[in-house]
Structure 1
Amino acid sequence: MTISQEEFYRRCEAFVRRMMEHEPVLATEMGEHRHDHRLADYSRPALEGWKRELAEALAEFQGFDTSSFDLQARLDQVLMVQFVKSLQRSLERIRPHFRDPGLYLRECTDGAFLLLVREFAPLEERLESLLSRLRAVPEVLAQGKANVEPESVPLVWAQVALESAQRGLSFFTSIIPSAARGVPGLAPQVERASRRAAEAVEDYISFLREEVIPRAKGDFAVGRELFEEMLRQDHLLDISTEELLETGWRLFEETKAEMERVAGEIDPHKSAREILEEAKADHPSAGELLDVYRREMERVRRFVVERDIAAIPEGESLKVEPTPPFMWPFLPYAAYISPGPFERVQQGVFLVTPVDPDAPPEEREEKLRGHSYAKLPVTALHEAYPGHHLQLTYANTLPTLPPKLGSMLSSLFVEGWAFYCEELMEKLGYIAQPIQRLGRLSDQLWRAGRIILDVGLHTKGMGVEEAVDFLVREVGLERSNALAEVRWYTQAPTYPMSYLMGKLEILKLVEEYKRRHPQAPLREIHKAILSCGSIPPKLMRKRLFGDSDPGLETPG
């Protein structure tokens, strides 16, 4: 079908608008607030209708004649085709609506949480939307009970859902009513709706305990064929699982050797593991954890500006907040929530998981050891400046929509960029102390381990306990944090490998840019890369180097 570029972009926007109608919480996350009062409809007719729409959209985007498009539009067409394929694969082959009972809980808790944490409108307006969403919680969880096939549910997913539901109760019974007190006229209604939502969650907990967990025997592994399809179609990586695993092990061993070299500079009589274990004892107290992160964010931002490392988008801001209890099972340390591409105010949120005051003393200390001063600066630069926050807010300034959505297709560039920044900031002197350099390398060892476990869990029959033991024994994670990590790996095939593999792809781009532009300063190189948006590095290479690079093709 021959259409103009302008019409192509109108079709892109129309598809995204329809997607946001089907996924109203995603719409809130993206900064489209027309659906803030709704939660998703997970009824069978709604799911079948979306399945048909995806098939129609794929045929449409694949059928466009792009011969008259400029390079950017042709890249965007490839992105849209692969994005729709990814949505289709998830719906039809991974089938989370029938296999993941946690999906329905996340719809409810995330839908409420985003309205509280994102200050895009006055609190009263957001609470009105929240009230509507709270009233929809019982229906969403009822749809979950109707859809979930207990025998198809992996036990680990059922366990995560149960723990998330138990923690989520306090969100509905305590956190939401507390937030609503800021608007006395709405507070009683919000409290009643929140109480009914909590009752629905309690009923869902019974469902999980009595009907799902005793029968859960599904396999979380996607298998080699689907895993390699995701590598090829989502990340545009031409690599087999065997090659990926080999790369992971090579990087793992190289990083271990480099860690021992740096450890020798610190104390020649101790191993890297011993030094890092001792360094874990040097951490903030539970009460000062948030303030320490806030100060580090300010320091790293100043460093990026003063050293002219990259342009910081005008109008961006970042606030540091505690992770709500319902998200603790998934976020052992910290996480960044970016402003959506449609958000008028580009404010990111950096979540720091607090220490559970009700946990035993030894568990509280174990959590704090994961926030050691040896690692804290690395976490800050990775999540904030020049890492995720800078990159994603930069992408949100781009003129066309598809590059802003690229991170929903592939995590390769987004996670690779933040990880690339870690070594970059060491070379530039931000990570200056030997113990911090060792901490940075230990994070690289962790990311290499993620490649190994990503492949192992999904294509080699590796179990959860085996993977947890690997992270504790070989990487040095605390066991509770290792379990949270592995639980996530089981639900996100090909994502864990993207940190280190993405970094390698970005390093290739940087070296190629330097080869072609020997005098280019760092800020120019980074501007060129960041201006491509959140797209897979293979498309970025084409965008940067044009016709001298191999031609475009849509992966099969």
Structure 2
Amino acid sequence: MKKLLFLLSFILFFSACKEKTEQSIEKTNERIASSNEELAKIFEDYYQGVLKMDPISATRAGDARYNDRFVNILNDSVKEEMKLFYSSNLEKLSHFAEEDLNENDLLSKRILEWECTQNAKRLSLPDYTPINQMWTINLVMGQFASGASAQPFKTVKDYENWLKRVDEYLVWFTAAQEKMEEGIKNGYVLPKSLIIKVIPQMESMAEENVEKHLYYSPIKNFPESFTEEERARLQVEYTAMIEEKIVPAHKNMAEFLKKVYLPAGRETSGFGALENGDQIYQSMITYFTTTNMSASEIHELGLKEVARISSEMEKVMKEVGYKGDLQSFFNYVRNKKELMPFTEPQQVIDNFNAIQVKMEPQLNKLFETKPKTSFEVRRTEAFRENSASAEYNQAPLDGSRPGVFYVPIPNASEYNVYADEDLFLHEAIPGHHYQIALQQENQDLPQFRKVLWYSSFGEGWALYAESLGKELGLFEDPYQYFGMLGGEMHRAIRLVVDTGLHSKGWTREQAIQYSLDNEAEPEASIISEIERYMAMPGQALSYKIGQIKIRELREKAERELGDKFDIRKFHSEVLEAGCIPLSLFELKIDQWIESNK
């Protein structure tokens, strides 16, 4: 009987404990669910706030609500609003305990904290050089104006939206000149060699023949649904916009650049010559690499990588039977007529399409998920072709427009194909197109993460993708493999010359010569690249830093998982979260390795 009573008491006690435990778990789950809902709202509000603050990015993402807007980020009050936006989001995030969050929400929280912190810091950097030859918003507006980019021209409202956006853009354009005038007074000006490249871009937009003007392009391509009355009205309005606004503004800017800004331009090449230039450069290193590496650490890493890749290049040189030294082999490859087989730009495009067909059957061996977003190769627009590099422009989030790999072909007869397989792997498949499209298509990510871009991850992935060529059935031709080594060498050289220019007092000419001595790129291309680094310090470092981290973590996974390692699952793990800072990426892969042991 005693045993029976004891057992009954124990059952009652256990039931009571179980009920309390279940109630406690239920309350905890409610708290976590409630927190996650609140956190999800913060993520969504942040995303919507960013679209409103940056309507150009909204258009690129396929969100049409702000297609008539252009925010003048050079305005001090606008900057203060943005800083408040980032600081208020950081304050909101601080109320969520990390132990209460699931894995995906925890990663999103940490990413958003990084994003807000770094963007707020960037807003505090000097803005006296808002226009350069490569990266600035006036070039994006030129792309939009062509009617072949993200700005839609499908309805009458689309055409009217563009007219309104241009009006707001010209406010920024005027402010840009004012900032450059301030920069002259404060010692923050572009190097002369960059100013010289900007002047022709401005002059091309001062074209007085309206029908030849880039901004007239949408009028030449009216949708069939437009009535004659609508066409006539828009033609008048676009003609007035070009004649009365665009042409005078760009004429004025071209004159300012030639007569005022160029004479005041710097003879020096790097940010180290500017007041607080070293601190500014270090902040840009942190932003673009998402690491705490110093300029000196990166410079030394670059020198080691250049030496390693050089030894690999010499092996290819011997394989093809070349008898000279490596530097003369670079010239041999640059000028080898057999590597310049084309006469028409379309032949260059066709060659890239053939590369895609060749590698397509091998992709299943390395990837278990492929993007649904369509893809195509296009020639870079003429107005920016002479100073542009090959690039990828992503599709909008709704997939209504394809991802586009742009290739500059200023002279088809001088176009060298030795690096085309490598270039396709980087800019297209499985490089930028795979990474960005899969990020945008991932329904588990909050919206703000679908459009995030960190160079260290995105460009690091694209450079890592180049190394997959042999696994994808490419690089059978030794010159194409040399092209891959050349691509990797190009990014290793960046570690040396970018830090050399901005932290070690290197001149433009010194950086150009170092590149000529260590890679096979044509001299004109090298000059364009060096001037790119001068215009945007730190960005070029992100490629190699990111690639090294991805390759390092793949080798760690292969080593620690042994027979359990699956390259397809590794690539899924790398790509599923989209672009994230490298420290968070390393933590994510380390956890994946542990969970698969």
* Structure 2 length-normalised TM: 0.81
* 3-state SS of 2:569 partner: helix
Report what 1:207 is aligned to: 256
- Residue 100 in structure 1 maps to residue 100 in structure 2: no
Task: Compare CA radii of gyration and give the structure with the larger one.
Answer: 2
Report what 2:220 is aligned to: 181
- How far the C-alpha of 1:105 sits from its partner, in A, is 9.7
Residue identity opposite 1:473 in structure 2? D
- Per-residue deviation, residues 354-378 of structure 1 (Å, max 9, x unmatched): 31xxxxxxxx48xx54x32211121
Report what 1:197 is aligned to: 246
- Residue 154 in structure 1 maps to residue 190 in structure 2: yes
- Residue 523 in structure 1 maps to residue 556 in structure 2: no
Residue identity opposite 2:548 in structure 1? L
Contact 1:83 1:234 in 2 (8 A): no
Report what 1:451 is aligned to: 495
- How far the C-alpha of 1:337 sits from its partner, in A, is 0.7
CA distance in 2, matches of 1:46, 1:104: 24
- Residue 380 in structure 1 maps to residue 424 in structure 2: yes
User: Are the structure 2 counterparts of residues 169 and 380 from structure 1 closer, same or farther at C-alpha, using a change threshold of 3 Å?
Assistant: farther
- How far the C-alpha of 1:391 sits from its partner, in A, is 1.1
User: Are the structure 2 counterparts of residues 16 and 431 from structure 1 closer, same or farther at C-alpha, using a change threshold of 3 Å?
Assistant: same
- How far the C-alpha of 1:62 sits from its partner, in A, is 4.5
* 3-state SS of 2:405 partner: strand
- Residue 86 in structure 1 maps to residue 118 in structure 2: yes
Report what 1:29 is aligned to: 60
Identical columns (%): 19
- How far the C-alpha of 1:261 sits from its partner, in A, is 1.0
Alignment partner for residue 581 of structure 2, among 533, 536, 551? 536
Q: CA RMSD in A?
A: 3.1
Report what 1:13 is aligned to: 44
Report what 1:412 is aligned to: 456
Alignment of 1:23-422 (within 5 A): 23-41=54-72, 42-62=74-94, 64-93=96-125, 95-96=126-127, 98-102=128-132, 106-114=136-144, 116-118=147-149, 123-124=154-155, 125-148=157-180, 149-151=182-184, 152-156=188-192, 157-169=194-206, 173-183=212-222, 184-185=231-232, 186-195=234-243, 196-217=245-266, 220-221=270-271, 223-232=277-286, 235-271=289-325, 272-279=329-336, 282-287=339-344, 289-297=345-353, 299-300=355-356, 303-308=359-364, 309-311=366-368, 313-328=370-385, 330-332=387-389, 334-340=390-396, 342-345=397-400, 347-355=402-410, 364=411, 369=414, 371-398=415-442, 399-401=444-446, 402-407=448-453, 410-422=454-466
User: Are the structure 2 counterparts of residues 321 and 233 from structure 1 closer, same or farther at C-alpha, using a change threshold of 3 Å?
Assistant: closer
Report what 1:360 is aligned to: none
Number of positions where the alignment pairs a residue of Structure 1 with one of Structure 2: 531
User: Are the structure 2 counterparts of residues 90 and 14 from structure 1 closer, same or farther at C-alpha, using a change threshold of 3 Å?
Assistant: same
CA distance in 2, matches of 1:80, 1:275: 49
* 3-state SS of 1:40 partner: coil
User: Are the structure 2 counterparts of residues 103 and 247 from structure 1 closer, same or farther at C-alpha, using a change threshold of 3 Å?
Assistant: closer
User: Are the structure 2 counterparts of residues 43 and 244 from structure 1 closer, same or farther at C-alpha, using a change threshold of 3 Å?
Assistant: closer
CA distance in 1, matches of 2:422, 2:183: 41
Unaligned runs of 5+ in 2: 1-30, 223-230
CA distance in 2, matches of 1:312, 1:90: 35
Unaligned runs of 5+ in 1: 356-363, 550-556
Report what 2:227 is aligned to: none
* 3-state SS of 1:129 partner: helix
- Per-residue deviation, residues 79-116 of structure 1 (Å, max 9, x unmatched): 112212222222212x23x2333499943441352362
Contact 1:158 1:216 in 2 (8 A): yes
* 3-state SS of 1:263 partner: helix
User: Are the structure 2 counterparts of residues 512 and 346 from structure 1 closer, same or farther at C-alpha, using a change threshold of 3 Å?
Assistant: farther
Alignment partner for residue 424 of structure 1, among 468, 491, 509? 468
CA distance in 1, matches of 2:139, 2:190: 22
- Per-residue deviation, residues 496-532 of structure 1 (Å, max 9, x unmatched): 1222221111112222333326344432221121112
Contact 1:320 1:351 in 2 (8 A): yes
User: Are the structure 2 counterparts of residues 233 and 482 from structure 1 closer, same or farther at C-alpha, using a change threshold of 3 Å?
Assistant: closer
CA distance in 2, matches of 1:61, 1:457: 38
* 3-state SS of 2:124 partner: helix
